[in-house]
Amino acid sequence: MTSQAQVPGKRVVVIGSSGHAKVVVDILEKAGHHAMVGYIDSYKPAGTMHFGYPVLGSEQALPQLIDTWDLQGYVVAVGDNFLRLQLAQTVDRLSSGRLVPVNAIHPQAMLSRGVSLGWGNVLMAGAVINADCRLENHTIVNTAASLDHDTVLEEGASLAPGARTGGNCHIGLGAAIGIGAVLAHRMRVGSHAIVGAGATVLQEVAPMQVVYGTPARAVRTRQPGDKYL
């Protein structure tokens, strides 16, 4: 993990070609650190155009595509946290480490002093990451979402648009904080837990729990990989 925001100049592919991918592409273009080449997608034929760029092929074709297109970096543009981590592992394996994850950071995202970033993260317009926060790999901080000081976002975790945390929060592996949800100071959200849209979290959320409401209450449990969007 490193506190550096980007390594400039890589030829990048976006994994997935959904609506979320459009946002990631727009961030890459606006940031200007990397050259967007195209998409990797197993569900669309090679050559399909999406938001101005072609689908190059599927994940299984990556070893050949890396050489053909001189690919160097990637961002997984998939909103589902569990699937995003699975795809990142697949890309790392099939590329034998030749493709490295890069951060997609919108120019209008705000990162404070002391922030530590892993790789493959997507920080959208209006995202605020306050002092001494730590983001691991392949996280998402969506439009106008914010992490207050000393908060940890573990690998594959995400904040939906407008979600906010207080200081010293800890969001576990693959956990998802829904649109407009709020975490009070020092709250912990366990791995693969889901905080529903508009919820207010005033007590710890256990791993695998789904919570909704104000104050947030557990409504059921789930397993990693269960759909939540």
The string of pLDDT tens digits covering residues 159-205 is 999 999 999 999 999 999 999 999 999 999 999 999 999 999 999 99
Question: What DSSP designation does 7 have?
Answer: -
Segment 109-118 shows an average pLDDT of 98
pLDDT at 227: 86
pLDDT at 229: 58
Q: Any idea which residue has 């946002």 for tokens?
A: 23
Q: What range does the domain containing 89 cover?
A: 11-101
Answer positive or negative: Cα dihedral of 91, 64, 100, 33. negative
Q: Same domain for 158 and 214?
A: yes
pLDDT at 2: 37
Q: Same domain for 94 and 112?
A: no
- The answer on pLDDT for 223 being more than 60 is yes
- The answer on pLDDT for 3 being more than 50 is no
For residue 3, being part of any structural domain is answered with no
Three-class SS of residue 88?
A: helix
Considering only residues 149 and 7, tell me which one the structure prediction assigns the higher pLDDT: 149
Question: What DSSP designation does 205 have?
Answer: B
Q: Where residue 4 falls among pLDDT bands split at 50, 70, 90?
A: very low
CATH number for the domain spanning 159: value is 2.160.10.10
pLDDT at 9: 84
Residue ending a domain, among 101, 125, 147, is 101
- The answer on pLDDT for 72 being more than 70 is yes
Predicted model pTM? 0.95
Q: Same domain for 61 and 31?
A: yes
Residue ending a domain, among 52, 69, 101, is 101
Structure-token pair, residue 174: 């693959």
- The answer on pLDDT for 94 being more than 50 is yes
Q: Where residue 124 falls among pLDDT bands split at 50, 70, 90?
A: very high
Rounded Cα distance between 174 and 227, Å, is: 12
Burial class (CB in 10 A: 0-12, 13-18, 19+), 223: exposed
For residue 4, being part of any structural domain is answered with no
Structural domains of the chain, count: 2
- Alpha helices by DSSP H, listed for the chain, are 19-31, 62-69, 81-94
Three-class SS of residue 146?
A: strand
For residue 229, being part of any structural domain is answered with no
Q: Where residue 8 falls among pLDDT bands split at 50, 70, 90?
A: low
Segment 75-81 shows an average pLDDT of 97
For residue 182, being part of any structural domain is answered with yes
For residue 228, being part of any structural domain is answered with no
Strands 49-50 and 53-57, bridge-based pairing: antiparallel
Residue pair 227/209 in contact (Cβ under 8 Å)? The answer is no
Q: Where residue 228 falls among pLDDT bands split at 50, 70, 90?
A: confident
Residue ending a domain, among 50, 72, 101, is 101
